[in-house]
Structure 1
């Protein structure tokens, strides 16, 4: 399913980024109250985002020829996005607040997905 060139293109990562961005900058009064921990949402969305970034890292134009370079790319982009959004929430959006635990949940989501991808590649599932 993920062998199609669409999945390794820029679009899935960008769409996931837009979903994260819009969900993060909407005033909290516009966001429906949900019963799920917001840290769990951070974890899940950044795990999905890192999966699409990992697929994107296979593009030859990025010149990421080793697994370490791909992981570094995914973790760096994901971390910069997460930090930037938390900074924007802290400084520019009065009804939102940036939190260190959100950054931690984002990072754990990134690392968990990268570790899962590594294990799945080791057993030849991916």
Structure 2
């Protein structure tokens, strides 16, 4: 009896390098968390609205989940967790006393970004990463 070796991340799409893509996605989440909790004075000055930064970051994280995971349930679950993470980070900013404050507009931008990223599931780009790195 030859039992098949369970593959890493059975909820992930059949990538050649699933650990690489999952690791990069988790690193992106860590970057967003760390960037959200840095003191205001340590943030780089960028020529775009901070609302756009929030929107783009959460859209990329949510679209990344669509690229990584097979099931729609996983996509929705990640989207909900990202929305909760965005709200939680806004509260932490207010509580940590690092020159940052709770901004409901930032939380809204995070939420809209997560929803737009989730909407990428309904486009031809849904499996772009899989087409690039499919397991033989």
Both structures adopt the same fold (TM-score exceeding 0.5): yes
Task: Indicate if the aligned counterparts of 2:65 and 2:75 stay in contact, CA closer than 8 A.
Answer: no
Structure 2 residue ranges without an equivalent (≥5): 1-13, 132-136
Counterpart in 1 of 2:114? 110
Larger Rg: 2
Counterpart in 2 of 1:35? 47
**How many angstroms apart in 2 are the aligned matches of 1:120 and 1:74?**
20
> How many correspondences in the alignment?
114
Tell me the TM-score normalised to structure 2 length. 0.72
Structure 1 stretches of 4+ with a deviation exceeding 6 A read none
RMSD between aligned alpha carbons?
A: 2.3
**1:121, distance to aligned residue in structure 2 (A):** 6.1
Tell me the TM-score normalised to structure 1 length. 0.77
Task: Indicate if the aligned counterparts of 2:25 and 2:61 stay in contact, CA closer than 8 A.
Answer: yes
Task: Indicate if the aligned counterparts of 2:38 and 2:98 stay in contact, CA closer than 8 A.
Answer: no
Counterpart in 1 of 2:7? none
Task: Indicate if the aligned counterparts of 1:43 and 1:108 stay in contact, CA closer than 8 A.
Answer: yes
